[in-house]
Chain A
Amino acid sequence: MKNTDLFDIFENAEDELMEDLTEMSPEISDERLEELLAVSERNYKMKKKEYERTRKDKNKEYDGAVSGVERVKRPVWLRPLAVAASFVLVAGVAAGTAALFRKGRSRNADDPPLADVYTDKAALAELCLNSPNYYNKLEASYVLVNINNKTESTETRTTTEAHFEYNSGEQYLLFDSEENYFSNYMSDGDVTSDSHWTHYYYKNKSVAVSHDAAHYEVMTYDNDWYRNRDYISDNEFYLDIFNASSFCKSLDPDKFSIKGKDTVCGRDCVVIESEDEYGRSTEYYDAETGVELKYVSEGKTSEEHTVDFEITDIKYNGDAHVTTPSEFRKWIEDSGFEPYVSIAVDENGNRVDPAVANNLDFLNAPEKPFTTAVQTAVAPAATTAADVSTAAVVTTTAEAAEETVTMAAPDENVQGELEKYAFELYKRSETVNDKINGIGVSGYGDGFLKVSVDPELGYRSYDYEHNNSQWVDNVKFYLPAADENFTTADELRSYVRSAFTQNSFVYRWLEDNLITAPDDFENGGYLDSEYIGYYLIYRGKLYMTAPGGGKGSLEPEYSEAYPVIITNKTDTSFTAYVAEWYGGSEPYNDLNEATCAEVKYVLDPEFNDWRINDIVTRPPGVYKELYDSRNN
């Protein structure tokens, strides 16, 4: 992680600051606005044309997804949101009248008479819009065939076989789908692909499991998953299972007609039809629950678009099996799926650890934090990192030999040795991180390296060659590393390893930035961008980026009243939470003002000692919540 200059802290600001940042933003000249408008207008016309050609219902909102001409591979993290959106259309809608609420129970004699959904359009719409109120559990399977671009010789066909389980009371959903895609529409020949996904939705998160890649990814939303309707796609027809029919949403009786009754999958259905300039649709809704059981549409456009959807099996309430969150977690863990991140860095440019990002704890009740246990491993090696208190380490290891791992609750009033050690190591890691980024470096060697770089990189450096307070363009200067802790690449690696694991983002950043100059490079010569990093090894000597001005860092403050809190302790890992204050004034006792560092420690086999594997900054309040839960 690199330190940033003052105004950099406005990056990724809260929404509340946007008004101020907008007021202070540069004006857009009329001329520039017209140029930008022309670009947006051109793209708008292209997208509109495509959207008009492929949408199946003129009342459908534009959703940002244009489909039909070519298959756009949707990023993994979009898929869960698209399914989640369907539930907002139903679950998030205000409840209907009490008379229609029959959630999972048989009708009683005292119940008011039901409106006739076979004749009353308003009653039918009400039933469909509030469908999840009419059952507690739902388990069903369906087949969906979606055909686009159909001509005499071409078509694009997507066939989906899916199974889903939904608990409408506790709001969790499992959705398993296998999709086969075929298209011979494009001139470059047939395209086919198969995919198998399982998605699980609970609280404000979802898990997407790719059976083909044998991995899973957790996504987090701003709200409960069933309230998220940001992504709705024409192609994700299964959304309609929980009734997304626009004419019902609009409650406009002119948009559809009730044709009569039928039976689908043993369930009595109301049959409705609608027709517009794009084609005709026939839909079948469960007359008791409002769940859509069948949908057939036929297009009228020159390249027909048809959709066939039909439930093949359905069970409600007592007959339905719905996988619980803990059962789903066990399935993932037993199946051996690996955690995966589709985006390797977060919004702050930090590497994302897949194991951390895909924490499945939300599927279970969290374990209570505890900390009296220390590892029972063999005593660590005699030598440890220089700056760590030897006394603290010795004390810790001495106690380690005597204590055993136990699930006992923590003694909330005593700060244990593990907490002390973790705290010291954390502070040391801050020093290490500063130094390898050029902050607090104790010195540099004589001489410098001058490297000409690609102008595309936009470099401008202080002129160390002439040392005349001037700056030069497209040049980067390096100085020989001569810190008290490291002068060679191996010493630098050891220095970082004294606080961090090999898998940590800091160590991986280091390896990415320890670059050896090619053999034919001479001082003053040119290097391609692939050789430009924070460090350069030239003729066996380690150089680091020459500073461009003073650099410092804002030192955090800590409070003895709020010690490190340790959780999730095992023989080989634990997590520590550290309360920090920045920029405030003493006394540091307002936990609402404290930021929280969530620090992951693992027992490093190379040293048989704890090292930091990851550090995540949590917002104010996280430490407070932990502290309060332990002290109340």
Chain B
Amino acid sequence: MTGNELKELLEASPEECHRQLMKEYGRYVYAIVFNKLRSCGTREDIEECFCDVFTDIFLRFEYDEKYVSDIRGYIGTLAKRKAIDRFRTLSAADLHNAHADEEEMAELVSDISVDELVDGSELRRILLQKIKELGEPDSTILMQKFYYERSSAEIAKTVSMTASSVRSRITRAMGKLRIKLAEAGITR
């Protein structure tokens, strides 16, 4: 829906307008918030921040005319800022150090590590490119497993496979990814 259509919907039914905003931009906001809070927040922290972002989105959509013309850009900026705020709060009290990977998955990534001193922008680009070269659904499965930290069972629901099929695909895909990364000079 366009900004103007959403504005009209807001007049008719604010709750329905909000539902549409969340449906349309929910994953985008989640991706941004997760990206900032992954290292310091639990899933609950991330969802709480997600809800805060949308509370703000709903209010700004109602009172800020400039919002309407560039909703996605505005939402992205808002989500990023709120996530950074939350990151600062969580980091100040961070005692969390979880190792939540399933046992057979943990070592697949443990021998490829990156020195955190590196700025990483080029590495991110290369890594993402290599992951995408694996094709679907493997690239999405890998990202949801190792970046979004979903369990194989959760991923299985979204890709319509069994959990054991997901695990098998992960093992094979990581093997291919390791080769691709070695060719690009990224290795132990």
Chain A residues close to B by CB (< 8 Å)? 1-15, 17-18, 20-28, 33, 36-37, 39-41, 43-44, 47-48, 51, 60-62, 64, 230, 343-345, 347-349, 430, 433-434, 439, 457-461, 469-471, 529, 532, 548-556, 580, 582-585, 593, 595, 597, 615, 617-620
Contact = CB atoms under 8 A, between A and B. Distances in A.
11 contacts: A10-B124, A17-B128, A24-B140, A24-B148, A33-B26, A39-B51, A40-B18, A41-B18, A347-B84, A552-B188, A554-B186
A10 B31 contact: no
Nearest to B23: A33
A407 B92 CA distance: 41
Contact of B114 (A9, A344, A593): A9
A25 B30 contact: yes
A15 B111 contact: no
A460 B95 contact: no
B52 interface: yes
A10 B35 contact: yes
Interface string B17-53: 0110011001110111011101110000001001110
B63 A9 contact: no
Contacts of B35: 10-13, 18, 21
B31 A9 contact: no
In this complex, which of B99, B106, B139 has the most chain A Cβ atoms within 10 angstroms of its Cβ? B99
Contacts of B185: 583-585
B71 interface: no
B96 interface: yes
Interface stretch (B1-9, B54-62, B165-173): B54-62
A3 B15 contact: no
A3 B76 contact: no
A21 to B, nearest CB: 5
Interface of B: 15, 18-19, 22-23, 26-28, 30-32, 34-36, 38-40, 47, 50-52, 54-56, 58-60, 62-66, 76-77, 80-81, 84, 87-88, 91-92, 94-101, 103, 106-107, 109-128, 132, 139-140, 143-144, 146-148, 150, 154-155, 158, 184-186, 188
Contacts of A583: 122-123, 126, 184-186
A47 B118 CA distance: 41
Contacts of A40: 18, 22, 51-52, 54-55, 58
A25 B98 contact: no
Given A22-B31, A40-B18, A460-B100, A6 B128 contact: no
Contacts of A597: 117
Given A457-B95, A554-B115, A15 B23 contact: no
A617 B111 CA distance: 24
A48 B39 CA distance: 32
Contacts of B186: 554, 583
B118 A582 contact: yes
A230 B64 CA distance: 12
A37 B15 CA distance: 9
B76 A18 contact: yes
Nearest to A439: B113
A136 to B, nearest CB: 30
Given A24-B147, A48-B59, A554-B123, 5 more contacts: A25-B27, A27-B27, A434-B115, A532-B95, A593-B122
